[in-house]
Amino acid sequence: MQNYEFDTIILGGGPGGFAAGIYAARGAASTAIIDISMLGGQPSNYLELENYPGFSNIGGYELMEKFEEHADKFGVNKFPMQEIVSVDLLSNPKVIITKDSEFKAKTVIIATGAKPMRLGVPGEEEFIGRGVSFCAVCDGAFYKDKTVAVVGGGNSAVEEAMYLTKFASKVYLIHRRNELRADKIVQERAFKNDKLEFVWDTIVKEIKGKELVNSLIIENVKSGEVSELSVNGIFPYIGILPNVDNFSGQIAQDQKGFIITDETMKTSVDGVYAVGDVRVTPLRQVITAASDGAVGAVYAVKYVEAIKEVTV
Ligand code: NAP
């Protein structure tokens, strides 16, 4: 078992985590980022971003590489691929135990992001990897000249549906209402795309197949009509839930589990901050996660300095 001690430990290596790392390390706090998978977070899977200032078009992976290089420059310690066993946010110091190591920290910044919500219909879990996917960028190429469905009406669903039209011969976008939630500019592009067919006022009731997915049972919520739609794949993009598995219940959260913070990113627990998609916030973007990371780290560093003053 390895033992480590830092002023600030950041859980999660996405844009919020890297920004927090850069600010904490520049604030002279010894800093580490721990992640259960590779660093980069959700944006690493985005084909391209057009709204991160300074980059009118950049690949998500490329942008996150730049974040990581920036964090490296200021000496942020990185621990990717950590299997987390337990997190104790209430003790002082805070303790994070992984399969191989024990980490102690004066402050913890939670930047664990969010994960895709499930439709919760029969066949969804069973066919993951065999026609059900939550990542168009990862799996889109498997659907060359095939028919796929995307579910949802937000930015993710519409953008990923358009991405899938590069491979698939037809993409159905199934939405439970007759109006999209996605940004207007995204909608306008989607409506011009000939390979996209909108299936309005409709929900998916079941995902069917043998070895692989071959159809969906769908229901029109206005008429009540139930029908079967032939598809080779389905990509649910119906929103996100926070990644809080290891510490849920130790801090104040909303009904869906998102962490409640004040404007300094402080949670209900002293010395614990939350930034980015994992917290209750009106906008979840790379830029807002990065901004949260900066704010949270500045206040985490102040907290560390206050502790050090007391103990000197
Ligand atoms: P979202 O904006 O919350 O949209 C979720 C969509 O799924 C909504 O259209 C919702 O329908 C639908 N939905 C929810 N539960 C459903 C269910 N059980 N069955 C069927 N449909 C359901 O989620 P998101 O698109 O994943 O985006 C998450 C956040 O990331 C947003 O803030 C978004 O703006 C941001 N984002 C930004 C970009 C970008 O700027 N480039 C790209 C991707 C994501 P209703 O509309 O009826 O509620």
Q: For 256-287, give one letter per residue: b (16+ CB within 10 A) or e.
A: ebbbebeeebbbebebbbbbbbbbebeebbbe
Q: For 159-171, give one letter per residue: b (16+ CB within 10 A) or e.
A: bbbbbbbebbebb
pLDDT of residue 188: 97
Ligand 1 touching residue 43 (CB < 6 A): no
Using the mean position of ligand 1's atoms as its centre, give its distance from the Cα of residue 200 in Å. 15
Q: What is the Cα–Cα distance from 61 to 25, expressed in whole angstroms?
A: 23
The model's pLDDT over 172-212, given as tens digits with 9 standing for 90+, comes to 999 999 999 999 999 999 999 999 999 999 999 999 999 99
Low-confidence residues in the chain, pLDDT < 70: 312
The residues that are catalytic are: 135, 138-139
pLDDT of residue 73: 98
pLDDT of residue 276: 98
CB 207 within 8 A of CB 118: no
Cut 0.85: pTM above it: no
pLDDT of residue 312: 65
Does the CA dihedral 130-135-136-139 come out positive or negative?
negative
The model's pLDDT over 204-239, given as tens digits with 9 standing for 90+, comes to 999 999 999 999 999 999 999 999 999 999 999 999
Helix, strand counts (H, E) of the chain: 6, 16
Using the mean position of ligand 1's atoms as its centre, give its distance from the Cα of residue 154 in Å. 4
- Name the residue at shortest CA distance from atom 32 of ligand 1: 284
Ligand 1 touching residue 157 (CB < 6 A): yes
Ligand 1 touching residue 155 (CB < 6 A): yes
Using the mean position of ligand 1's atoms as its centre, give its distance from the Cα of residue 65 in Å. 26
Residue 299 DSSP SS3: helix
Q: Dump strand ranges (E) for the chain.
A: 2-11, 31-34, 77-79, 84-88, 94-98, 101-110, 114-116, 147-151, 170-174, 196-199, 202-209, 213-220, 226-230, 233-236, 240-242, 272-274
pLDDT of residue 132: 95
List, in sequence order, the alpha helices (H) in 140-265. 155-164, 184-191
